[in-house]
Amino acid sequence: MDSPLVSLILLSINSGRTIRQTIQSVLDQSYSNWELIIVDDGSTDNSAEVIRSFNDPRITAIFDEKGRGTGQTYNQAYALCTGKYTGYIVAGDWFTPEKLARQVDYLETHPETGVAGTFIFEVDGTGQVLEGIFSNWFNQKRDLNLGDNWIIQNFLCHSSVLLRKELHDRVGGLDADLFLTPDFDLWLRCLLNGFRFHVIPEKLTYYRSHPSSVSNNNTQNDLFFELAYLFCKRLAGYLQATGRSDLFIKSYNYFRLTFFEEVPPFLLARLYQKLSNFPLYPPDFLSFKADFGSDWDLQLDPLKEQTIKWPGPQRVLDVPRERVPAPNQETRAGLLIYDDYFPNVLSAFRVAEFNYYLANLNCDIVSAQPNFDTLKEEYLSFYPQNRDRLKRFVAETALNYRLLYVVFLKNAFKLLPIIEREEIPFIFTLYPGGEFLFYDIISDSRVLRLTNSKFFKRMIVTQKITYNYLLRNGLCPPEKIEYIYGAVIPAELYNRFSIPHRYYGQDKATFDICFVAMKYMAEGRDKGYDVFLEVAKVLARLSPLFRFHVVGGFGAQDIDVTSLADRITFYGHQPTSFFPEFYAGMDITLSPNIPFVLMPGTFDGFPTGACSEAALCGVAVFCTDLLNENEEFTPGEDICIIPGEVEGIVGKIIPYFNEPSALHRLAKAGQRRFREIYGTQRQLVPRLKLFKKYLG
């Protein structure tokens, strides 16, 4: 035949219940020049009987009673492949009739492409199509030719792939020693050899995901060693050769935060040391595991009984099955805001933003805050005019509003079933945090679920790094994104206070440095609290004039501060009204923030809300920017960008300590710039205009 031959490999292990559909889908292909090589690997059910029931000369069946495992049986079948292209299909998965035709056509017309996958339909154990984690994971428009998209994740469904056999021959078959990640290993070898990837953005493959599958039943310990091997023997050298040293930290954080929650510093140091020794390990997996894990068994022992559980289709807030008929749009009220933390006055940005809408729109707020009644009374003591606009959220209540607004991914996703039940158009702000993570399968699937809802209108994005991530990964159309840099800060509130600022070297003798942050993890390492204290200890030894102040959930019990004695003060949690007087006596707010520490993919906006509030009160901001988020400030002129390590931070502070007038200029210029960026005209007016557009 003129058309190129496609060789397909099908492995069967006790797949009698599902393999018939798999084989039939190959027979039903509109593209007919294929061969199917089936290896049954020691099945004890009726798999052999089902396989033998198909009588087609293009099918070759091998029955092996030894149970050799995926790698060996795949390589056994691969040795028989004679086609120009090779593919693999898992028993239980199946193809749409046009799948091979579309892929062959693409590969024939794009000779530069070596590996071609497709989007998938995800199905459950019964074969029912669902919108699950894996469909959202594999169906994202990613450029798999970039190393960034392989740290440390597999975005390519093996059953969907066709691969040029001459290239497959060059990199070899599957590594028979890898039980959980042989396909990921194959793609990495293709990447390292310069093969070009392409994923056809059409759902041409049915991928069966169910709790009994191999990928959903593995121990953390096994997965840890296989991924460590792939990093050390595949990725690390590639990153070094391509000059992507920035991705080493992302890789290390993946291991640390995926496999360890709370571990002593010496163990983390040992982990980094072992991963950094990547050129020294033997090339085969079993020898690598013996070498890499030679002193690791005892330390990893708690992981051995932990199992990665398949989460199933994502569950959201349960709602009554019987839908209340939605009223006509003309009879609905205006804007409804849903939140799970408001009316807690400690959340200054929520109070500032929501109060503005209450003052300028026909607007109500429903709150799922557990301590709603108590916090409501405290809030109303400040804002009594909003008493009739604030209610406790009740899932069963009909929401007769023309537009709904939420902040944070977790709130929007949780409320989506009610949004769709009530047929309410919605807008949400995708702030950093709130369960929004970079390169996280669950986070990405939730964003896609929201942006694919027919009631989704706009997503407000506050950081360019988030904006670029959404576009790069196909999570939201650009026309549905409203980019407003920064965040809503109670700027006008701070502007109204006329408390004179007391500057070091001019109004007071002490040099006061503060750290303000919420506590989310031990030692506040995500916020850099541990680094702040180390800086404080160094500065305290240099001069008796330094004083240190901590606001938030931190205390002397978190990290030993004995050496600082009476030089450090802890204030606990404080409301917005506390800060104008507090900041009036501060010279620097220090924020050694570190992304991806709280968990993989987590990061804070730049600058943090606490830094912004301090700057509005005339305090000089010294903060990290490890993700290069800054686009509005001029370092050294209105802000000081610091490194993440102690010596470098101290080196930034000392020149300002020695020349107080330079610090005063930095603080005043920062205050002016922050007022420009975080004022009503830049932050709230565009949001109000957006809401009015959809309210009519």
Summary mean pLDDT of the chain:
86
Residue 310 has pLDDT above 80, yes or no: no
Residue 298's pLDDT is 37
Instruction: Report the range of poorest mean pLDDT among 28-32, 124-128, 383-387.
Output: 124-128
Residue 276's pLDDT is 77
The tokens for 557 are 């019990």
Residue 133's pLDDT is 79
Residue 295's pLDDT band, with cuts at 50, 70 and 90, is low
**Residue listed under structure tokens 């892929």:** 103
Residue 215's pLDDT is 44
**Residue listed under structure tokens 């010294």:** 622
User: Looking at the domain that runs over 6-210, which CATH code has it been given?
Assistant: 3.90.550.10
* Fold matches, 329-489+685-691 and 498-678: yes
The most confident of the ranges 284-293, 593-602, 661-670 is 661-670
Handedness of CA 291, 297, 302, 307 (dihedral sign): positive
Residue 127's pLDDT is 82
Packed helices 348-360 and 609-616: angle between N→C axes, nearest 10 degrees: 70
Residue 212's pLDDT band, with cuts at 50, 70 and 90, is very low
Residue 135's pLDDT is 84
- The domains of the chain are located at 6-210, 217-309, 329-489+685-691, 498-678
Residue 491's pLDDT is 58
Residue 406's pLDDT is 97
The most confident of the ranges 510-514, 575-579, 599-603 is 510-514
- CA separation, residue 270 to residues 223, 277, 299, 634 (Å): 19, 11, 10, 38
Provide the strand spans (E) within 271-417.
Answer: 307-309, 333-339, 363-367, 390-392, 401-407
Residue 635's pLDDT band, with cuts at 50, 70 and 90, is very high
Q: Are 355 and 688 in contact (CB under 8 A)?
A: no
Residue 603 has pLDDT above 90, yes or no: no
Average the pLDDT over 54-66 and give the result.
89
Residue 201 has pLDDT above 60, yes or no: yes
Measure the CA–CA gap between 403 and 457, rounded to whole angstroms: 9
Residue 305's pLDDT is 36
Share of the chain above pLDDT 90, in %: 56
Residue 297 has pLDDT above 60, yes or no: no
Please state which CATH class domain 329-489+685-691 belongs to.
alpha beta
CATH fold label, 498-678: Rossmann fold (3.40.50)
- CA separation, residue 550 to residues 42, 102, 259, 306, 535 (Å): 64, 61, 31, 37, 13
Residue 321's pLDDT band, with cuts at 50, 70 and 90, is very low
Q: Cβ contacts of residue 580 below 8 Å, gap of 6+?
A: 494, 497, 499, 617
Question: Which carries the bigger pLDDT value, residue 443 or residue 393?
Answer: 393
Instruction: Report the range of poorest mean pLDDT among 200-204, 211-215, 230-234, 632-636.
Output: 211-215
Instruction: Report the range of poorest mean pLDDT among 21-25, 131-135, 320-324, 400-404.
Output: 320-324
